[in-house]
Amino acid sequence: MTSASSANSTKPPIGVYVHVPFCAAPCAYCAFYKAVPNRAGIVSYLEILKNEWDLRYCGEPIETIFFGGGTPSILSAKQLETTRRIFPDELPFLKEWTVECSPLTVTRDRLATMREVGVTRISMGVETFDEKFLKILNRRQTLGQVFGAYELARSFSFDINLDFMFALPGQRLFHWEADLQRAIDLVPDHLSTYCLTLEGETPFVAEYRGKIPPAEHGWENFHRIASELLGAAGYEHYEVSNFARPGKQCLHNVHTWQMHDWLGVGPSAASQYGGRRFRNIADLDRWMAGIRGGNPCEEDVCAVDANLLAQDIIIFGLRTRGWIHLPKNMDALCQNACRQLFETWCGEGYMEHKNGVYRPTEKGLLLADALAVEILRIFDKQWWREAESNRRHKDFQSSALPTELSRRWEPT
- The residues spanned by each domain of the chain are 4-257, 307-409
> What average pLDDT does the segment 3-29 reach?
77
What's the pLDDT score for residue 30? 64
CA–CA dist 151, 128 (Å, integer)? 17
The answer to whether 55 touches 5, Cβ cutoff 8 Å, is no
Top pLDDT among 342 and 211 is at 342
The answer to whether 70 touches 26, Cβ cutoff 8 Å, is no
What's the pLDDT score for residue 140? 87
Task: Name the 3-class secondary structure at 90.
Answer: coil
142: left (phi over 0), alpha (psi -120 to 50) or beta: beta
What's the pLDDT score for residue 398? 31
Q: Is the pLDDT of residue 40 over 80?
A: yes
CA–CA dist 370, 384 (Å, integer)? 19
pTM value is: 0.88
The number of residues making up the chain comes to: 412
Exposed e or buried b for every residue in 253-282, given b needs 16+ CB within 10 A? bbbbbebebbbbbbbbbbbbbeeebbbbbb
H/E stretch holding 124: strand 121-127
Q: How confident is the model at residue 347 (pLDDT cuts 50, 70, 90)?
A: very high
Q: Is the pLDDT of residue 408 over 70?
A: no
Span 257-292, pLDDT tens digits: 999 999 999 999 999 999 999 999 999 999 999 999
Least confident range from 178-192, 310-324, 368-382: namely 368-382
Alpha helices in 12-157 (DSSP H): 39-56, 77-84, 108-117, 131-136, 143-155
Nearest to 264 by CA among 276, 250, 254: 276
The answer to whether 369 touches 195, Cβ cutoff 8 Å, is no
Distance in Å from the first CA to the final CA of the chain = 58
Q: Which one-letter DSSP state was computed for residue 25?
A: S
Q: Is the pLDDT of residue 394 over 80?
A: no
- Strand 270-273 with 276-280, pairing: antiparallel
Top pLDDT among 32 and 92 is at 92
The answer to whether 262 touches 273, Cβ cutoff 8 Å, is yes
Written out in words, the top-level CATH class of the domain with range 4-257 is: alpha beta
Hey, which residues does 66 pair with through a beta bridge?
17, 98
Least confident range from 81-90, 132-141, 379-388: namely 379-388
CA–CA dist 183, 316 (Å, integer)? 27
Q: Is the pLDDT of residue 390 over 70?
A: no
Q: Is the pLDDT of residue 333 over 80?
A: yes
> What average pLDDT does the segment 153-178 reach?
95
CA–CA dist 176, 227 (Å, integer)? 12
Q: Is the pLDDT of residue 171 over 80?
A: yes
Top pLDDT among 405 and 27 is at 27
Q: How confident is the model at residue 214 (pLDDT cuts 50, 70, 90)?
A: low
What's the pLDDT score for residue 219? 79
Top pLDDT among 378 and 6 is at 378
Task: Name the 3-class secondary structure at 264.
Answer: strand
Hey, which residues does 20 pair with through a beta bridge?
69
Q: How confident is the model at residue 128 (pLDDT cuts 50, 70, 90)?
A: very high
Q: Is the pLDDT of residue 139 over 60?
A: yes
Q: What are residue 370's phi and psi, to 5 degrees?
A: -65, -40
What's the pLDDT score for residue 34? 67
- Mean of all residue pLDDT scores within the chain: 87
CA–CA dist 349, 186 (Å, integer)? 34
Span 284-332, pLDDT tens digits: 999 999 999 999 999 999 999 999 999 999 999 999 999 999 988 898 8
What's the pLDDT score for residue 225? 95
What's the pLDDT score for residue 407? 35
Q: Is the pLDDT of residue 198 over 80?
A: no
Task: Name the 3-class secondary structure at 100.
Answer: strand
Q: How confident is the model at residue 409 (pLDDT cuts 50, 70, 90)?
A: very low
The answer to whether 209 touches 222, Cβ cutoff 8 Å, is no
CA–CA dist 204, 183 (Å, integer)? 25
CA–CA dist 91, 9 (Å, integer)? 11
What's the pLDDT score for residue 405? 37
The answer to whether 357 touches 339, Cβ cutoff 8 Å, is no
Q: How confident is the model at residue 220 (pLDDT cuts 50, 70, 90)?
A: confident
The answer to whether 193 touches 166, Cβ cutoff 8 Å, is yes
Q: Is the pLDDT of residue 21 over 90?
A: yes
Top pLDDT among 33 and 246 is at 246
Q: Is the pLDDT of residue 44 over 90?
A: yes
**CB within 8 Å of 23: residues ≥ 6 apart:** 30, 34, 35, 36, 37, 69, 70, 71, 74
